[in-house]
Amino acid sequence: MIVVEQPGLRTTVQDRGRVGLAHLGVPRSGAVDWYSAALANAIVGNETDAALLETTLTGPTLRFETAAVVAVAGAVADVAIDGELVQFGVAATVSPGQRLSIGTARDGLRSYLAVAGGIAAPPVLGSRSSDTLSGIGPSPLVAGDVLPIGAAPFTSSTPFAEKDGLPSKAMLGSVLPSAGRAVRVVRGPDAAEATMNSLCSQVFSVSRHADRVGVRLTGAMVAGGGEAATAGMVGGAIQLPPDGAPVVLLADHAVTGGYPVVAVVVAADLPIVAQARPGAALRFRAVSMAAAREAWAKVVEGLASAPTFGR
């Protein structure tokens, strides 16, 4: 078991989300930065969709009642066990009675704490994810919560030993906004050519209206906003309200919406938006569907070669 002593700013249990239920009005939810979540799980030997903890800006303090193997990926922050710093992005062992804390993110917004065996919270509709919009799944952590740990997937007695092939700093930071690359998008169903040109020709800032549901951007107004017939929405969809300020939908978005969808962020780049804290700059670059599929294939291939322990 893990006992939550301090929950952090907003820490939730997440996995890959609730797949295939949008037609029933159930959002997917799941880790906003799916890449960092999958990487953290891979480091401790879990399946990449095992449940773990997603922190927001400032992480929790947790007391472990049993020995465990842990790793943190995503937004880089100080990780300490009983006050002693451990290497970020590398598996470490926690002994019974020890406390693990995750500090304030220095770059990016969300960190992911994986525990070998996963967080064994009760699944709801096939997922352990906390959906902050609908309230489905575990509630955000509060002090005093107790989190069960599943059975560790490895057989080695020292899965946390240092090995060749540990994640490089470049790999860990590849999805952060500081990487400086444009976010790739494909043209949406409601976009005129002038709208796409406007969207991709300027730099936007992430506003303070940013959470797991979506990110509202500020900057010059993009033409083409307004009302539209209600339609199904997907993660990464860029809606354009009447005021012309784009909104990028994230994991907890509603399954339908009534604003024009002018573009969709390619899946491989959605973690960049997920890690953009208020004030961060974002710019977009239009690509073809073929390029979007190729980008996804490269990310999947990279995760398949991510280091695991005890396998």
Q: Identify the residue whose tokens are 């575990």.
A: 138
User: What are 256's two structure tokens?
Assistant: 């339908």
Same domain, residue pair 142 and 166: yes
User: What per-residue confidence (pLDDT) applies to 154?
Assistant: 61
Same domain, 14 and 153: yes
The mean pLDDT value of the chain amounts to 87
**Is 110 in the same domain as 134?**
yes
Give mean pLDDT, residues 90-111: 94
Strands in 52-54's sheet, in edge-to-edge order, are 12-14, 52-54, 107-115, 68-76, 92-94
Structural domain boundaries, residue 251? 177-303
**Token reading at 308:** 């695991």
**What pLDDT is attached to residue 307?**
53
Is pLDDT at 31 greater than 60 in this prediction? yes
Task: Report whether pLDDT(117) > 50.
Answer: yes
pLDDT at 157: 43
In-domain check, residue 6:
yes
Amino acid at 138: P
pLDDT of residue 12: 97
Q: For 41-80, write each residue's pLDDT tens digit.
A: 988 889 888 999 999 999 999 999 999 999 999 999 999 9
- Residue 310 placed within a domain: no
What is the mean predicted confidence (pLDDT) over 116-136? Answer: 93
57 and 138 assigned to the same domain: yes
Supply the pTM of this predicted model: 0.90
Domain boundary among 175, 206, 227: 175
What is the pLDDT at residue 181? 74
Among the candidates 150, 175, 200, a domain finishes at 175
**Phi, psi of 41, rounded to the nearest 5 degrees:** -65, -40
What total of structural domains would you count in the chain? 2
Same domain, 214 and 128: no
- CATH assignment of the domain containing 252: 2.40.100.10
Tell me: do 115 and 146 sit in the same domain. Answer: yes
Cβ atoms of 239 and 263 within 8 Å: the answer is no
Q: Is residue 309 part of a domain?
A: no
Give CA–CA dist 43/186, Å, rounded: 32
Tokens representing 51 are 């449940």
Buried b (16+ CB within 10 A) or exposed e, 128-164: bbbbbbeebbbebbeeebebebeebbbeeeebbeeee
Are 62 and 14 within one domain?
yes
Same domain for 156 and 183, yes or no, is no
Same domain, 50 and 184: no
Give yes or no: residues 75 and 152 share one domain. yes
Please tell me the distance from the alpha carbon of residue 289 to that of residue 4, in angstroms, as a whole number.
43
Tens digits of residue pLDDT in 133-179 = 889 999 999 999 999 999 877 644 444 434 444 444 444 444 454 55
Phi–psi pair at 23, nearest 5 degrees: -70, -15
Is residue 308 included in any domain, yes or no? no
